[in-house]
Homo-oligomer: A and B are copies of this chain.
Amino acid sequence: MDFEIDPRVDASFARQGFMDLIGARLIHAKAGRCVMETAWSERLTQQHGYFHAGVSATLADNAAGYAAYTLMPEGASVLTVEFKLNLTNPARPGLLRADAQVIKPGRTLSVVRCTVSTLADGKETPCAEFLGTIMTLLQAPPPP
């Protein structure tokens, strides 16, 4: 796979304070697929030292939204309608990676699947499975 990043995704990602806070990095965003990662640190943990489920949810939601965004027309904005996340394995320290793929693109709504995995000791282990709905907004929302 040739990693490529849609410049619109890059610019949007850079405006998300929360991505900076959790140390997330955009790896790929093109043609209905988006990959992002963050490295384990004590600041991202739940009570037993694993990645917090909220970190997995955040990465998955963001990767899914941007996967859909790569297919949207110029000038559109992206909005998560809803998602469901199954936690499938403990998210062990290492690199946390979300890999999202649009499975049904649509003019208004797109359905996106995303798998979150941990990479440690050269081994990739899925830790969460996401299925969600992303909306195309034809205009940017007003500033808050």
Q: How far is the CA of A62 from the CA of B46 in the complex (A)?
A: 9
Number of identical protomers? 4
**Chain A: interface residue total (CB-CB under 8 A):** 58
Is B48 touching A133 in the complex (CB atoms < 8 A)? no
The residue among A82, A85, A88, A108 with the most chain B CB atoms within 10 A of its own CB is: A82
Chain A contact surface mostly: mixed
Contact of A21 among B13, B43, B92 (CB under 8 A): B43
Interface on A for B, CB 8 Å cutoff? 12-13, 15-18, 20-22, 41-50, 52-55, 57-59, 61-62, 77, 79-90, 92-93, 103-104, 108-109, 111, 113, 126, 129, 131, 133, 135, 140-141, 143-144
